[in-house]
């Protein structure tokens, strides 16, 4: 079976070809621009990487989407991407079947298939990249909700006022995402432009940078406490901004979890950075293709992995 993936992010596009087992064979990245510049490049790149005949193509993208119709519907991190019929455009060029999925759900499938959630039945993944979404594995199934919007944690308001994210002041996305951190720094008139700059300053010992990260960690801990109390997952896995900045975010995050989450539920849950590294975008698009090709089943091997996971230290 020919497996291909396209991840359309707020700053970059990843295109990948994989084997039946999900192993990446060929991949390429480039900057996200306007649809009229980016879509031709997606088609050219996928053609050059050679998806093979009648491929199954997974497409992950930030919402809102109409996944059933294959439409991208003006995601906040993709200005100008309004009613883009991405599935039809890809199928017309390559044949086969294309499947569109919210990037948070796609990332959750990737963690469940390839990453921190292998073998578990209850998982929540927080994207924590340019934006902040989440996906939910509940009792061994992807939970998408009534119209595919389950898990939009970034839209929850944490404070009455604060940085804007997902169109809402004081939201989880405003406080905790990469885009939100950049907006916080701009509002402070900081010499640091983004989370990368802030991370470098914190690593160099700057106490102001570390205080900003501690505040972000507190907000993130409060968010995860809500997730743990509501869904009682075995694993909460957090995406790239947390993975890169973990030393400065984690202490305050864990202190807030201890204050806010139900103790028994917290004890049953591992809170970990994503292990998928810099290829997480490729894996999540490939995971969408495998999911729709019928390749997600909780096998006996994964159940053994789940039992072994219970022996690992908790949060």
Shared domain check, 258 and 143:
yes
Please determine, for residue 313, whether its predicted confidence score (pLDDT) is greater than 50: no
Shared domain check, 137 and 248:
yes
Shared domain check, 257 and 285:
no
**Is 268 domain-assigned?**
yes
Q: Specify burial of residue 197 (Cβ count, 10 A radius: 0-12, 13-18, 19+).
A: middle
Shared domain check, 270 and 128:
yes
Shared domain check, 254 and 129:
yes
Of all residues in the chain, the percent with pLDDT exceeding 90 is 79
**Is 201 domain-assigned?**
yes
Shared domain check, 232 and 140:
yes
Establish how many alpha carbons lie within 13 A of residue 199's alpha carbon, considering only the half-sphere containing its beta carbon. 15
Shared domain check, 184 and 93:
no
Whole-number pLDDT of residue 122: 97
Q: Do residues 67 and 105 make contact, with C-beta atoms less than 8 angstroms apart?
A: no
Whole-number pLDDT of residue 20: 82
Mean pLDDT of 134-149: 90
pTM score of the predicted model: 0.85
Q: Structural domain tally of the chain? A: 2
Q: Could you tell me the CA-to-CA distances from 24 to 51, 106, 118, 143, 260 in Å, in that order? A: 12, 16, 18, 26, 40
**Is 206 domain-assigned?**
yes
Whole-number pLDDT of residue 297: 53
| Residues 140, 131: Cα–Cα separation, whole Å | 26
Tell me the sheet residues that pair with 101.
Answer: 60
| Residues 193, 137: Cα–Cα separation, whole Å | 35
**Is 312 domain-assigned?**
no
Give the pLDDT band of residue 263 (cuts 50, 70, 90).
Answer: very high
Mean pLDDT of 168-189: 95
| Residue 276: DSSP 8-state | S
**Is 310 domain-assigned?**
no
**Is 49 domain-assigned?**
yes
Shared domain check, 141 and 99:
no
Shared domain check, 79 and 13:
yes
* Residues 146-155: tens digit of each pLDDT: 877 889 999 9
Pick from 20, 94, 85: which is nearest to 50 by CA? 94
**Is 308 domain-assigned?**
no
Q: Do residues 129 and 82 make contact, with C-beta atoms less than 8 angstroms apart?
A: no
**Is 257 domain-assigned?**
yes
Shared domain check, 283 and 269:
no
Shared domain check, 258 and 153:
yes
Pick from 95, 64, 75, 100: which is nearest to 85 by CA? 100
Please determine, for residue 299, whether its predicted confidence score (pLDDT) is greater than 90: no
**Residue 149 corresponds to which tokens in the numbers above?**
């919007």
| Residues 280, 60: Cα–Cα separation, whole Å | 11
Q: What is the 3-state secondary structure of 101-126?
A: EEHHHHHHHHHHHHCCCCCCCCEEEE
Shared domain check, 237 and 192:
yes
Domain extent, residue 23, equals 3-107+279-298
Whole-number pLDDT of residue 96: 95
Q: Could you tell me the CA-to-CA distances from 221 to 64, 292, 297 in Å, in that order? A: 26, 33, 31
Please determine, for residue 167, whether its predicted confidence score (pLDDT) is greater than 50: yes
Helix, strand, or coil here: 267? helix
Element (H, E) at 200: helix 195-203
Q: Do residues 220 and 226 make contact, with C-beta atoms less than 8 angstroms apart?
A: no
CB atoms closer than 10 angstroms to residue 300: 8
> Any idea what the CATH number is for the domain that residue 258 is in?
3.30.420.40
């Amino acid at each position: 079976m020919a497996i291909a993936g396209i991840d359309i992010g707020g700053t970059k596009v990843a295109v990948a070809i994989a084997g039946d087992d999900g192993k990446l064979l060929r991949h390429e990245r480039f900057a996200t621009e306007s649809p009229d510049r980016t879509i031709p490049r997606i088609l050219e790149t996928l053609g050059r990487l050679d998806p093979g005949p009648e491929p199954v193509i997974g497409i992950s993208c930030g919402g809102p989407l109409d996944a059933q119709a294959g439409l991208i519907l003006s995601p906040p991190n993709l200005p100008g991407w309004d009613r883009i019929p991405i599935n039809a455009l890809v199928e017309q060029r390559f044949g086969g079947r294309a499947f569109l999925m919210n990037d948070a759900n796609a990332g959750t499938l990737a963690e469940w298939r390839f990453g921190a959630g292998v073998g578990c039945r209850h998982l929540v993944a927080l994207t924590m990249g340019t934006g902040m979404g989440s996906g939910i594995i509940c009792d061994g199934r992807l939970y998408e909700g009534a119209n595919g919007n389950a898990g939009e944690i970034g839209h929850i308001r944490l404070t009455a006022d604060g940085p804007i994210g997902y169109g809402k002041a004081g939201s989880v996305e405003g406080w905790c995402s990469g885009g939100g951190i950049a907006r916080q720094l701009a509002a402070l008139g900081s010499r640091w432009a983004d989370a990368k700059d802030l991370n470098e300053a914190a690593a160099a010992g700057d106490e102001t940078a570390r205080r900003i990260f501690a505040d972000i960690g507190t907000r993130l801990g409060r968010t995860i406490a809500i997730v743990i109390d509501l869904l009682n997952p075995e694993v909460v896995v957090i995406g790239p901004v947390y993975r890169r900045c973990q030393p400065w975010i984690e202490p305050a995050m864990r202190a807030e979890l201890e204050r806010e989450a139900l103790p028994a539920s917290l004890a049953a849950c591992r809170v970990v950075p994503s292990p998928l590294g810099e290829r997480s975008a490729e894996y999540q698009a490939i995971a969408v293709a495998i999911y729709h090709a019928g390749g997600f089943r909780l096998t006996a091997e994964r159940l053994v992995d789940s039992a072994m996971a219970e022996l690992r230290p908790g949060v």
